[in-house]
Amino acid sequence: MKLLKQVFLTGLFTLLTVGICFSQVYRIGSINPLTGKLSTHGIEIDQGIQVAVEEFNRDEKVNSLGLRVELFRRDDRSNPDVAINQAEQLISVEKVVALVGGYVDSLVGPISTVASKRGIPYVASASLQSNVVEGRGIFFSRISCMDGLIIPVRDFLISEIKPSRVAIIYAATPGATEFSEKLKKELEKAGISVPIFEKVRPGSPDFSPVILKCRQKKVDFIVAAVFFADHLVFVRQLQNFSGPVKGYLGPWGVAYPSFIKEMGSSSNGLFGLSAWAPDFTYPGTEEMSDRFVRLYTEMFKTTPTTTAMHGYASAKVVLTALEKLVSSGEKVTGETLARAIRGIDITLPIGPVAFDEKGNPLRYRQMVVQIQNEKMIVVYPHDRATGKIIYPVAY
């Protein structure tokens, strides 16, 4: 009996030792604005990434490969200089094999520059500006892009709303400016007048001068490329003015549970964009989406947003590529992992994910949602719709 026990313990020790010796542990760095003015969405992205890594490390197939990932999380404090320093530290000191995360291109751009120079793949969670992908080679890819917002808004307005005169109000930021300029061009090409095209300062306390201009020009639809806090002010003031405006769309900042909670019934009728929510996931990904929601809720005691899903998607791309490399027996280097990422073609709750030669997502499209009865309802495109458009909306 004593001998059997000794043999068992020796065998157990051997198994554990073999497991440790053959385990392949890789480090991934995540850089997001966890503090500062961009922290609300930065935290959501960071949490989505954590869920992806936790899910990966729990996976039996991954475990059978002796594969594990360690996540090194860093706060860029909503500051580009800090983002650069964090990227350098993760690559030089922590020896990460890839970087993920990033919210807005003022932070993504500097991180991507460092990663490309150092030969480390970086998959950005939330990046839009067209020029960010230039000169990055194979080392930069991103989950989102500007066309994924402009195309659904353009098609929705042209085919469904058919407005006569549209006002485009946009924040004085590079991303909002690019979105607005491109949308204006597309609408005018389709014969839709854009009599008001006005830049505003983020955080403005008063939008009444712009609203008065909309009344004077008999604008019937407003596209407001501004941020969460700006929408709160803009919509409340708009609802105090009687006039010809029949619809309002915010490409970002509107389609969030926090916005609906803040505005209550006053949010009803507003249009926004979303790539995913717990109530609407890409067809065929229901099980994956439910698993994500359960694990996210388990870890953070709250419901995930579309921004959190962008973080999850960026990490899933890196983890999927890493698993394929390890399974094939190919050595994991910055270049081999970057090429594996560029070769990815998977379907996630956010939709199909694959990249072009510059690292842009080939099939990224957001959906137009409308808030009805204080819930987000997909109204466009038709094949993803969960309800019908209510239009015009009385303000």
User: Are 73 and 161 part of one and the same domain?
Assistant: no
Give me the domain span that covers residue 126.
Answer: 2-144+281-354
Q: pTM of the entire structure?
A: 0.92
Q: Are residues 203 and 268 in the same domain?
A: yes
Same domain, 50 and 86: yes
Check which CATH number belongs to the domain holding 225 and give it: 3.40.50.2300
Clarify whether residues 262 and 375 are in a common domain.
Answer: yes
Query: Are residues 260 and 379 part of one domain?
Result: yes
Domain assignment present for 115: yes
Q: Give me the pLDDT at residue 378, please.
A: 98
- The per-residue pLDDT for range 144-196, each reduced to its tens digit, is 999 999 999 999 999 999 999 999 999 998 999 999 999 999 999 999 999 99
3-state secondary structure of 295: helix
In angstroms, the first-to-last Cα distance of the chain is 83
- Same domain membership, residue 111 and residue 87: yes
> Do both 209 and 336 map to the same domain?
no
The residue with tokens 């090194």 is: 72
Note the residue count of the chain. 395
Residue 389 counted as domain residue: no
How, if at all, do strands 247-250 and 140-142 pair? unpaired
Q: Are residues 375 and 241 in the same domain?
A: yes
Together in a domain, 242 and 374: yes
Number of domains into which the chain is organized: 2
Kindly list the averaged pLDDT for each block of 10 residues, start to end, along the chain of length 395: 43 42 83 95 97 97 96 97 98 98 96 98 97 95 98 98 97 94 98 97 92 95 96 94 90 96 97 98 98 98 97 98 96 98 98 98 98 98 98 85
Close Cβ partners of 45 (under 8 Å, ≥ 6 residues apart): 32, 101, 102, 103, 125, 126, 307, 308, 310, 311, 314
Residues 280-310: b if buried by 16+ CB within 10 A, e if exposed: bbbeebeebbeebbebbeeebeeebbbbbbb
Whole-number pLDDT of residue 240: 87
Element (H, E) at 15: helix 2-22
Number of neighbours of residue 265 by Cβ within 10 angstroms: 10
Q: Based on the fold, state whether residues 19 and 114 are members of the same structural domain.
A: yes
By DSSP bridging, strand 367-372 and strand 375-380 are antiparallel
- Cross-strand pairs, 378: 369
**Residue 393 included in any domain:** no
- Is 322 inside a domain boundary? yes
Tell me the per-residue pLDDT of 8-26, one tens digit each, with 9 for 90 and over.
444 444 444 344 333 799 9
395/389 Cα distance (integer angstroms): 16
